[in-house]
Structure 1
């Protein structure tokens, strides 16, 4: 999913919430799903999505140019470095 498609899906979810066609919980789920799909399909020539595995950064997902940079970003966002880093494919 590219950025434009993700934005359109989020806008559609917000419109449905504003019009009373969806409640907050459903809107949160839909927006979360859009973001998760965007993140798992994210990859450019110089960046990709990585997930921290184990330790304080377990489950934290960031976009970075390398595993080393991802480890640093995850550590900055959580209470410490993860045990490992895995690319999200």
Structure 2
């Protein structure tokens, strides 16, 4: 999913919420689903990709965009304060 599609999906979710067609929980689920799809299918031709932390509870399922596994480890550690000194990352394709 590209950025424009993700934004459209979020706008549609907000529109349904504002119209009373969805409650907050349903809106949150739709927005989260759009964001997860965007993140896990991220490709912009720049060599960046989505990476997920693996092997330690503190980093499990933390997803970041990075240009390499090493950069992904650094970014995941920044977003998971309890990250161990060593953990695996997996590129999402």
Scaled to the shorter chain, the TM-score interval is over 0.9
TM-score between both structures, scaled by the size of structure 2: 0.90
Unaligned 5+ residue runs, structure 1? none
1:27 CA displacement: 0.4
Unaligned 5+ residue runs, structure 2? none
Runs of 4+ in 1 over 6 A off after TM superposition: none
CA RMSD of aligned residues (A): 1.1
Distance of 1:30 and 1:53 partners within structure 2: 25
The SS at the match of 1:76 is helix
Aligned pairs (5 A) from 1:14-53:
14-44=14-44, 45-53=46-54
TM-score between both structures, scaled by the size of structure 1: 0.93
Distance of 1:37 and 1:5 partners within structure 2: 10
Please name the residue that 2:83 is paired with: 80
Distance of 1:43 and 1:67 partners within structure 2: 16
